[in-house]
Amino acid sequence: MRAVQVRPEVDLSNDRSAERYGRALVQTLPRDAIILHFGTPREWQYRIVFEYYFQVTLGQRLDVESLQVDARELSTAADNHADTHGMPPTFARVFATGRPVYMYEALTQVEPFVNITWEGELFRVTPKRGRPSNFAVRTP
């Protein structure tokens, strides 16, 4: 029987970058952080490492919450969110908690209402200046 031979240039068995990434998040994310995600293919590679391996499988950093943002919130005009000062409802609710908010990927669609800065291994998200920090979120 012949064994399968893997070419060295495609052999990733010694690649530990995903493990380093996940450990960096475990060690550096503030307590009770929220990570927003939008369902993009690029985000998946980051989410699978942190959320599915480090949180679900290893049971680490269960205080960090992952929250999917419905892309339809971002595609509507800011005027449609007058009750939250032009902020899409999910963002308004998240900022109202006072918890630190992050994203795996910096999306241009969110730039009109948030500041995005690189912090560690993620993008930190804060409300733009001039927008109230205590967003009134209406619930039915």
pLDDT digits (tens, 9 = 90+) for 100-126: 999 999 988 888 889 999 999 999 999
Number of domains in the chain: 1
Examine residue 136 and state whether it is found in any structural domain, yes or no. no
Burial class (CB in 10 A: 0-12, 13-18, 19+), 54: buried
Structural domain boundaries, residue 24: 18-127
- What confidence tens digit (pLDDT) does each residue in 3-61 have? 556 677 777 678 788 899 999 999 999 999 999 999 889 999 999 999 999 999 999 99
Examine residue 4 and state whether it is found in any structural domain, yes or no. no
Confidence of residue 98 (pLDDT cuts 50, 70, 90): very high
Examine residue 81 and state whether it is found in any structural domain, yes or no. yes
Examine residue 122 and state whether it is found in any structural domain, yes or no. yes
Examine residue 10 and state whether it is found in any structural domain, yes or no. no
Q: What is the DSSP letter of 102?
A: E
Examine residue 52 and state whether it is found in any structural domain, yes or no. yes
- What confidence tens digit (pLDDT) does each residue in 54-94 have? 999 999 999 999 999 988 887 764 555 544 557 888 999 99
Q: Closest Cα partner for 119 from 24, 2, 55?
A: 24
| Helix (H/G/I), strand (E/B), else coil: 23 | helix
pLDDT at 138 over 50: no
Distance, CA of 27 to CA of 29 (rounded, Å): 6
Instruction: Determine the length of the chain.
Output: 140
Give the global pTM: 0.80
Distance, CA of 23 to CA of 120 (rounded, Å): 12
Note the pLDDT of residue 64.
98
Confidence of residue 139 (pLDDT cuts 50, 70, 90): very low
Determine the straight-line distance between the first and last CA of the chain, rounded to whole angstroms: 67
What are the structure tokens assigned to 76, written together?
A: 């509507």
Examine residue 69 and state whether it is found in any structural domain, yes or no. yes
Residue 42 has phi, psi (to 5 degrees) of: -65, -35
Examine residue 132 and state whether it is found in any structural domain, yes or no. no
